[in-house]
Amino acid sequence: MGTFTPFTPQVFTRTGVLTFDIRDISCLGRDRKTRYDVSHPAPAEEVCTMSEWSVAEPRKLTFDDPVTALHVRIVNGTVNVVGTEEGSARLEVSAIEGPPLTVTQKGGTLTVAYDDLPWKGFLKWLDGKGWRRSAVVSLAVPMSTRVEVGVVGAGAVVSGIDGPAEVKGVTGDTTLVRLSGPVHASTVSGSVEAQGVTGDLRFSSVSGDLTVVEGSGPSVRAESVSGSMIVDLDPADRPTDIHLSNVSGEIAIRLPHPADMEVEANTTSGTVSNAFEDLRVSGPWGAHKITGRLGSGSGKLKAMTVSGSIALLRRPQAEDEPWDAEPPTPGDAPRPKDMPRPKDTPRPKDTPRPEDAHQPEDTRRTASVPKDAVPDEDSTDGPTEKKGL
């Protein structure tokens, strides 16, 4: 007979720490440094050195390990990502409803997301299933971080990032502020507003609108089915490549003055508006095209839409000049060159004098005026302006 060997339970150690304590598995890495009973409440803010934990209530977390990439995916609520000069990253979940968020940090990549919301599966959320959740998430990461944000019914704000940024959305609106790296934004029906973006901008949507304010990046490429596109270009020393494509949405482009680019804009059945004398408007029947060269033509502008309208506007030379100035009344300062005076508005010099308003026009032009009837220059009675009649 063989020798009977009693079974001895094995005890496994993790990173050299042996523990049988009851612990909160939502933050496993905590056992590397401390151990506590789950009956004790978690601190409001803590330094995390672990790789994964769960957040089911409002919480603040600080990460000591370097963060080079950020992935965020939430449903409803708000995501706010800001770039800072600090080397560490911070997370604040100020409100959360529904399932907990899973936060992981691995190999320099910080992920804040729901387990059942993959990065490549956003379209399946169009049916509304699983929408009974919400989270308000704020993150501060180094400016050079690569940022990927996915939102379903949530608003997203990304600002101060120098690295590449990508935002995917279904119905939430997105705001991009002062991004200097390449930017790619895609939505189903959510709108995108880009302010002061100096990197390459890519936009695609079904019915979402695109608004670019003071864009000075080297290129802007946008595609949409029915969303409108408003692109305001800030003067830059480098050539700009603009390519806008739409089906039924309107396109409005405000170019710097003076501008420097080749222009080709056309619509099949929409209307066109052009504020530049050097550009030519042509086209038979319903089709219209705006073509020409502004300056040396180092940049390129190509815009096309099927049934939407196209407008090329002129940006004021002075930075402090308002976009939409109220039209002056007769006698005020001259109007800008790109705002012609209406034909039915008399010019100040053509306005008849009140004392001559009752006389016929031919009488005023042919009547002789005695010398003694002309008042002296120092006289305050009557008009002081001498006119040759």
Q: For residues 68 and 146, is the Cβ–Cβ distance under 8 A?
A: yes
Token representation of residue 187: 């939505």
* DSSP type of residue 27: B
Q: How confident is the model at residue 288 (pLDDT cuts 50, 70, 90)?
A: very high
Percentage, residues of the chain above pLDDT 70: 65
DSSP string, 293-333: EETT--EEEEEEESSS-EEEEE--SSTTS-SSPPPPPTTSS
Structure confidence by residue, pLDDT tens digits, 291-320: 999 999 999 999 999 999 999 999 887 554
Q: How confident is the model at residue 39 (pLDDT cuts 50, 70, 90)?
A: very low
Any idea which of 48-62, 71-85, 195-209 has the lowest mean pLDDT?
Answer: 48-62
Q: For residues 330 and 345, is the Cβ–Cβ distance under 8 A?
A: yes
Tokens 């010398």 sit on residue: 371
Assigned domain for 158 exists: no
Structure confidence by residue, pLDDT tens digits, 372-386: 444 444 444 433 444
The number of distinct structural domains making up the chain is 1
Assigned domain for 338 exists: no
Please state, in angstroms and rounded to a whole number, the distance separating the CA atoms of residues 126 and 110.
26
Work out whether strand 310-314 and strand 109-113 pair parallel, antiparallel, or are unpaired: unpaired
Please state, in angstroms and rounded to a whole number, the distance separating the CA atoms of residues 365 and 93.
81
Please state, in angstroms and rounded to a whole number, the distance separating the CA atoms of residues 357 and 361.
9
Assigned domain for 232 exists: yes
pLDDT value of position 10: 46
Q: For residues 148 and 111, is the Cβ–Cβ distance under 8 A?
A: no
Any idea which of 65-74, 173-182, 214-223, 338-347 has the lowest mean pLDDT?
Answer: 338-347
CB atoms within 10 A of CB 153: 18
Any idea which of 41-45, 120-124, 193-197 has the lowest mean pLDDT?
Answer: 41-45
Mean pLDDT of the chain: 76
Residue type, 271: T
Buried b (16+ CB within 10 A) or exposed e, 252-285: bbbbbbebbbbbebbbeebebebbbeebeeeeee
Nearest to 136 by CA among 60, 66, 70: 60
pLDDT value of position 318: 56
pLDDT value of position 27: 45
Q: 12-16, 85-89, 224-228 — which one is most confidently predicted on average? A: 224-228
pLDDT value of position 129: 57
pTM, entire model: 0.69
Nearest to 211 by CA among 233, 223, 194: 194
Q: Is the pLDDT of residue 238 over 70?
A: yes
User: Residues 171-196: what's their mean pLDDT?
Assistant: 96
Structure confidence by residue, pLDDT tens digits, 126-178: 555 556 889 999 999 999 999 999 998 899 999 999 999 999 998 889 999 99
CB atoms within 10 A of CB 364: 13
Domain extent for 276: 191-322
Q: Is the pLDDT of residue 87 over 90?
A: no
Assigned domain for 32 exists: no
Assigned domain for 22 exists: no
Q: Which run of H or of E encompasses 362?
A: helix 361-366
**SS3 call for 372:** helix
* Helix-then-strand count for the chain, H and E: 1, 27
More confident residue, 190 or 349: 190
* DSSP type of residue 115: T
Please state, in angstroms and rounded to a whole number, the distance separating the CA atoms of residues 184 and 63.
27
Phi-psi region of 178 (alpha: psi -120 to 50; beta: other; left: phi over 0): left
